[in-house]
């Protein structure tokens, strides 16, 4: 049986919670406005928040020799927690709004749209009217910045400029599309050169894409990390007085070999009461035909999976603060039962082969997935 990974308790939102991903862009904006913030930043003129998709703190530490600029700033105090689930759609919405998934409403990779009784992909589902207006429910920090006279921009791959997800999550930001990582930093620094108060966001998805294909322990992932590190070093050297760059990530990653894929459809009776299977392979969200069956179904999955997974009913997960404060309008989007991997496993319905070629995966609440760097330059 696959061994279990380190799993930390989820700390509900509140005054005593540690700094997390939701505080990063909000802290940057507060610093530009010369206001107190949870990052402890003093007054700044311009702050660039860089998100290296898929760069977990544990993976960075393990490859420190290949990323000397980034690793030179990594210590216990520079590791923060992303939100739950540890997936791009939810995490980027948390970063951009300063609110938890239970508030902004993007609670997984694929989730149930209760009004239409269908499962929708959260990265692509905003396109072509696939999700109703206002599905992402929170004001973005870019919108807030503009309303208070602070320039707000985002730079990322050109082909993301017109996506529905960009429109929903980066509302208010001027989008500066650029093909390469180096060109994205160039666009951000040119925006800073215009002067005035500004917050910027730079998105780097390439490392995550390689991780999904080859795993974070692959030579290809390490080579891309070296390239990102060099680009960060070059950009950091060009920052001027009153400018700061913060480098973080949306989630980390676990390599899941093919032999550790668990086909839940082959376990007798496990999917019988499941109407919709949502989420992702390391954080399944089960929507049942009858929500009153949640306790019984959760017990059945616990018995079948044992130490491979932490199985909770929605009430248990919400009560434990998995999604932060959950608005009643968001609650039906969350599965009646949640199955979070505690091991190097991923759970699939074998009748649907989607995603089974991925090596690097995320979504659950292990330290390898939930802890990301927050590095200041």
- pLDDT at site 8: 47
CATH fold group of domain 258-359: Gyrase A; domain 2 (3.30.1360)
pLDDT value of residue 76: 79
Q: One fold for both 21-255+365-376 and 258-359?
A: no
Q: pLDDT tens for the chain, 377 residues: list them.
A: 344 555 444 444 444 678 999 999 999 999 999 999 999 999 999 999 999 999 999 999 999 999 999 999 999 789 999 999 999 999 999 999 999 999 999 999 999 999 999 999 999 889 877 788 899 999 999 999 999 999 999 999 999 999 999 999 999 999 999 999 999 999 999 999 999 999 999 999 999 999 999 999 999 999 999 999 999 999 999 999 999 999 999 999 999 999 999 999 999 999 999 999 999 999 999 999 999 999 999 999 999 999 999 999 999 999 999 999 999 999 999 999 999 999 899 999 998 878 899 999 999 999 999 999 999 99
Residue 31 token pair = 């610093």
Q: Considering the entire predicted model, what is its pTM?
A: 0.95
Residue 324 DSSP SS3: coil
Q: Give the tokens for residue 310.
A: 């932490």
Q: Tell me which long-range contacts 127-136 makes (C-beta under 8 A, separation of at least 24).
A: 127/163, 127/164, 127/165, 128/164, 130/164, 131/164, 135/105, 135/106, 135/168, 136/93, 136/97, 136/104, 136/105, 136/106, 136/168, 136/169
Each domain of the chain, given as residue ranges in start order, spans: 21-255+365-376, 258-359
Question: How far apart (Å, rounded) are the C-alpha atoms in residues 317 and 235?
Answer: 41
pLDDT score of 10: 46
pLDDT in the model for residue 131: 86
What pLDDT score does 105 carry?
Answer: 97
| pLDDT for res 3 | 45
The yes/no answer on whether domain 21-255+365-376 falls in CATH 1.10.8.60 is no
């Amino acid at each position: 049986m696959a061994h279990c990974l380190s799993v930390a308790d989820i700390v509900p939102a509140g005054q005593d919670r540690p700094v997390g991903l939701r505080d990063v862009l909000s802290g940057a904006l507060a610093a530009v406005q010369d206001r107190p913030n949870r990052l402890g930043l003093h007054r700044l003129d311009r702050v660039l928040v860089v998100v290296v998709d898929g760069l977990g703190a544990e993976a960075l530490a393990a490859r420190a020799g290949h990323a000397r600029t980034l690793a030179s700033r990594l210590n216990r105090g520079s590791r923060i927690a992303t939100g739950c689930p540890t997936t791009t759609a939810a995490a980027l919405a948390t970063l951009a709004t300063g609110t938890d998934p239970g508030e902004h409403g993007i609670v997984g990779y694929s989730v149930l749209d209760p009004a239409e009784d269908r499962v929708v992909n959260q990265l692509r589902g905003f396109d072509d009217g696939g999700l109703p207006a206002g599905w992402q429910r929170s004001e973005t920090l870019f919108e807030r910045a503009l309303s208070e006279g602070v320039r707000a921009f985002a730079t990322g791959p050109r082909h993301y400029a017109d996506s529905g997800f960009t429109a929903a999550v980066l509302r208010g930001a001027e989008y500066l599309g650029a093909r390469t990582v180096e060109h994205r930093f160039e666009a951000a620094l040119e925006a800073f050169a215009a002067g005035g108060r500004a917050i910027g966001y730079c998105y780097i998805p390439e490392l995550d894409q390689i991780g999904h294909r080859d795993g974070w322990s692959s030579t290809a992932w390490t080579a891309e990390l070296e390239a990102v590190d060099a680009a960060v070093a070059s950009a950091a050297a060009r920052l001027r007085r009153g400018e700061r760059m913060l480098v973080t990530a949306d989630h980390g990653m676990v390599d899941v070999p093919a032999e550790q894929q668990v086909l839940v459809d082959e376990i007798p009776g496990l999917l019988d009461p499941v109407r919709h299977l949502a989420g992702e392979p390391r954080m399944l969200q089960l929507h049942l035909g009858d929500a009153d069956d949640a306790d019984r179904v959760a017990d059945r999955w616990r018995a079948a999976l044992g130490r491979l997974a932490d199985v909770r009913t929605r009430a248990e997960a919400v009560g434990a603060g998995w999604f932060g404060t959950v608005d009643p309008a968001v609650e039906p989007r969350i599965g009646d039962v949640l199955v979070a991997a505690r091991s190097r496993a991923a759970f699939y319905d074998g009748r649907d082969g989607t995603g089974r070629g991925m090596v690097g995966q995320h979504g659950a609440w292990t330290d390898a997935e939930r802890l990301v760097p927050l590095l200041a330059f």
